[in-house]
């Protein structure tokens, strides 16, 4: 029991996490309502004026974004005040004692040596809470990678959000270590304690926040990581596509591994839109090592993946996965721009060994 208590209170710091969750959630929410509304407003301003070679929309700023700026300003005042005029918060910590008992070591919490500790709301450990918000703008940026400029607003808003998060973390570090706002008052309260302020700072401030962030990331990242590994194993077990699969294994997934037989082709039946790089379909010919060709096609939602695959081409070799198809539907011709005669018009006649069509996708 004493070992479990040691793990719960000292190693994992769950007792301190639980007691501080309301305060930590308040800080996280206040920072969230500063980061995201401000990122949306700045991102929209950049989107209107244009940047990085992307033309602006030249529209007026919608009222909703002015509201976002007002929310961000209100939350920002609390953030700045917590750094410039930090409040003192009380906490406690009990040291651990160990005693040898033969082949065993007993571990127990010494509550009689409990230490009351105070810390400031500007403590740099709170910067770790920004890691809870960081995945939001990070996903906005990553999800629009390899997409056309029609998603420029989301991409630039994600980048701005990450910059704001980095700036807020830096502000906490500067307020604590450089400007030392409120530190003199804190040092007076900590004078004469039986445990060093550095040790108490780790036990009371850093460890609880760190464990909260680790737990939240583990809840999300462990299942996603397991799914990613399972997908990689599934792909590795797929057979390599062959020309004969176009007759015998239609609808099944195959690995595509070969050399590019020509440049990729992109289609936009309804126009390329903003920036001239928003495509509804794509295709490329791949020569197979076993003979024959693959016509690798990508529908609208898979075009960003297609672009990513093309960026990963190494010395002309391409490796990806897709589903074998035996025909192109009217909808694919109309909405994605696919050729309507098995690729002859766009890519020429099939070689003597034949050609198989594969639709870029993942099992």
At which residue do the structure tokens 């093309």 appear? Answer: 310
Backbone angles phi, psi at 251, to 5 degrees: 90, -5
Structure tokens at 200: 């108490």
Task: Output the tens digit of pLDDT for each of the chain's 363 residues.
Answer: 454 454 445 444 445 444 556 777 888 888 999 999 999 999 999 999 999 999 999 999 999 999 999 999 999 999 999 999 988 776 655 555 555 555 555 555 555 555 556 677 888 989 999 999 999 999 999 999 999 999 999 999 999 999 999 999 999 999 999 998 888 777 777 666 666 777 777 777 788 888 889 889 999 999 999 999 999 999 999 999 999 999 999 999 999 999 999 999 999 999 999 999 999 999 999 999 888 999 999 999 999 999 999 999 999 999 999 999 998 999 999 999 998 765 556 788 888 999 999 999 998
Contact (CB, 8 A) for 278 and 302: no
pLDDT of residue 11: 47
Distance CA 235, CA 223 (A): 18
Give the residue from 164, 98, 176, 155 showing the smallest Cα distance to 130. 164
Domains and CATH numbers, the chain: 2-229 (no CATH), 245-360 (2.40.50.140)
- CB neighbours of residue 240 within 10 Å: 14
Question: Given this model, what pLDDT does residue 10 score?
Answer: 47
Q: ∠ at Cα 135 (140, 121), nearest 5°?
A: 130
> How would you classify the pairing of strands 96-101 and 104-109?
antiparallel
pTM given for the model = 0.83
Residue 205's closest CA among 172, 174, 179?
172
Contact assessment for residue 280 and residue 298, using Cβ atoms and an 8 Å cutoff = no
For residue 123, which phi and psi values (nearest 5 degrees)? -60, 135
């Amino acid at each position: 029991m004493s070992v479990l208590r040691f793990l719960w209170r000292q190693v994992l710091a769950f007792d301190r996490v639980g007691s501080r969750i309301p305060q930590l959630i308040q800080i996280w929410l206040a920072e969230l309502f500063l980061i995201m509304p401000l990122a949306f407003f700045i991102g929209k301003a950049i989107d209107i004026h244009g940047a990085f070679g992307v033309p602006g929309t030249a529209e007026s700023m919608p009222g909703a974004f002015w509201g976002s700026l007002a929310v961000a300003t209100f939350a920002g005042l609390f953030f700045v005040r917590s750094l410039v005029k930090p409040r003192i918060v009380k906490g406690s910590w009990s040291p651990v004692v160990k005693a040898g008992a033969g082949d065993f070591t007993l571990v127990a919490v010494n509550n009689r040596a409990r230490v009351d500790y105070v810390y400031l709301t500007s403590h740099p450990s709170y910067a770790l809470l920004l890691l809870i918000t960081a995945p939001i703008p990070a996903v906005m940026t990553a999800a629009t990678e390899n997409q056309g400029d029609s998603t420029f607003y989301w991409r630039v808003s994600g980048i701005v959000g990450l910059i704001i998060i980095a700036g807020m973390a830096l502000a906490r570090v500067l307020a604590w270590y450089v400007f030392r706002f409120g530190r003199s008052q804190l040092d007076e309260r900590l004078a004469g304690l039986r445990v060093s302020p550095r040790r108490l700072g780790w036990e009371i401030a850093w460890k609880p926040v760190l464990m909260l962030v680790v737990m939240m990331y583990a809840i999300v990242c462990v299942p996603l990581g397991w799914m990613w590994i399972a997908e990689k194993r599934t792909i590795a077990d797929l057979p390599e596509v062959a020309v004969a699969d176009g007759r015998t294994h239609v609808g099944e997934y195959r690995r595509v591994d070969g050399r590019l037989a020509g440049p990729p082709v992109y289609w936009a039946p309804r126009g390329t839109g903003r920036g001239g790089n928003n495509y509804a379909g794509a295709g490329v010919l791949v020569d197979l090592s076993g003979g024959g060709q693959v016509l690798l096609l990508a529908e609208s939602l898979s075009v960003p993946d297609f672009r990513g695959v093309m960026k990963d081409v190494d010395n002309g070799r391409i490796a990806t996965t897709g589903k074998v198809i035996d025909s192109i539907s009217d909808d694919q011709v109309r909405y994605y721009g696919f050729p309507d005669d098995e690729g002859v018009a766009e890519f020429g006649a099939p070689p003597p060994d034949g050609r198989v069509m594969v639709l870029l996708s993942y099992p």
